[in-house]
Amino acid sequence: MVDTPKIDQYGSAVEQVFNRVGHDPADFRCLRLTVEHPPLSSRVIARYQLPEAP
């Protein structure tokens, strides 16, 4: 799903959350960002085109 070597059992934790709240992970997009040394008052903005509505 969304495993990462940086956080032990991260994928399992995310899967448990999806199961608990009853959502399908395929309905979501995952974006992971690592910033080594963020300056104070930093901000990250991510933009992308939304898919067409069903």
pLDDT of residue 48: 87
Q: What are the residue boundaries of the structural domains of the chain, listed by start?
A: 1-54
pTM given for the model: 0.60
List, as one string, the DSSP characters of the chain.
Answer: ----TTSTTHHHHHHHHHHHHT--GGG--------SSPPTT-------PPPPP-
What is the pLDDT, as a whole number, of residue 1?
66
Using one digit for the tens of pLDDT, what is the confidence trace for 15-26? 999 999 999 999
Q: Residues 5-50: pLDDT tens digits? A: 888 999 899 999 999 999 999 998 888 888 788 778 888 888 988 8
